[in-house]
Amino acid sequence: MRTGRLEAFSDGVLAIIITIMVLELRAPHGASLGALRPVLPHLLAYLMSFVYLGIYWNNHHHMLQTCRRVTGSILWANLHLLFWLSLVPFVTSWLGETMPAAGPAALYGGVMLLAAIAYFILQQRIIADQGTDSLLKRAVGSDWKGKLSPPVYALAILAAFVTAWISVGLYVLVALIWLIPDRRIERVLAGETD
């Protein structure tokens, strides 16, 4: 199987996931701007999930560019990742509706943790298939962001039962870490390799 169709299918699913989330933003019951207030947490939860899915789409795309062929295990590892990401609209909707409740904030982290693990498994399947001189392995490098995210998600899940705002803060933090380009760090690392 060529990677083209896997990429197109994943893009389709990600585009749909990112867009149907907006269906959870129901029109407020009143007609005044004040009626928007209960929609606000939904909107913020939507924004956070939109950024997460954008990051996944971006990283997924770069990962697949190093990939020349699609084996059965890569295909199912990819569907496994899409499964957890497809639950993002559900947990986003619950988080937006109940903020700041412990359960939904913890579940959001749970889905994020499982998606991160699924992403890691997919990465390992591609590296294993590429053999000893894996292009992806070199591209991923130390992958400190990928290694940092799961423990932060785990921490956020626990923190949810203290106060949900801490865990949401941690989710925002992880998103920011992925968003901000780390050229300085890359240069440092590049310097160390010299």
**Token duo for residue 186:** 């890359």
> How far is it, in rounded angstroms, from Cα 194 to Cα 189?
9
Per the CB < 8 A criterion, the answer to whether 60 and 187 are in contact is no
Would you say 26 or 147 has its CB closer to a copy of itself?
Answer: 26
Contact 106, 61 (CB under 8 A): no
The answer to whether residue 190 forms part of the interface with a copy of itself (CB under 8 A) is: no
Going through the chain in order, the beta strands assigned E by DSSP cover none
> Can you count the helices (H) and strands (E) in the chain?
9, 0
- Going by the DSSP 8-state scheme, the letter that residue 26 receives in this structure is P
Q: Shortest Cβ distance from residue 49 to a copy of itself (Å)?
A: 11
State the nearest-atom distance from the C-beta of 128 to a copy of itself, in Å: 16
Q: Is 28 one of the binding residues for a copy of itself (CB under 8 A)?
A: yes
Assess 184 for contact with a copy of itself (CB under 8 A): no
CA–CA gap between residue 131 and residue 183 (Å, rounded): 28
- Site membership for a copy of itself, residue 163 (CB under 8 A): no
Which residue in this structure is represented by tokens 């509706």?
97
- 61/103 Cα distance (integer angstroms): 32
Question: Is position 17 an interface residue for a copy of itself (rule: CB under 8 A)?
Answer: yes
Residue 158 binds a copy of itself, judged by CB under 8 A: no
When asked if residue 132 is in the footprint of a copy of itself (CB under 8 A), the reply is no
The vertex-50 CA angle with 126 and 15, nearest 5°, equals 60
Binding-residue pattern over the window 37 to 76 for a copy of itself, x denoting contact by CB under 8 A: ----------x--x---x--xx--xx--x------x--xx
Binding of a copy of itself at residue 94 (CB under 8 A)? yes
Closest to a copy of itself by CB, 113 or 133:
113
For binding to a copy of itself (CB under 8 A), which residues are involved? 1, 5, 7-9, 11-20, 22-28, 31-36, 47, 50, 54, 57-58, 61-62, 65, 72, 75-76, 79, 82-83, 86-87, 89-90, 93-94, 97-98, 101-104, 106-107, 179, 181
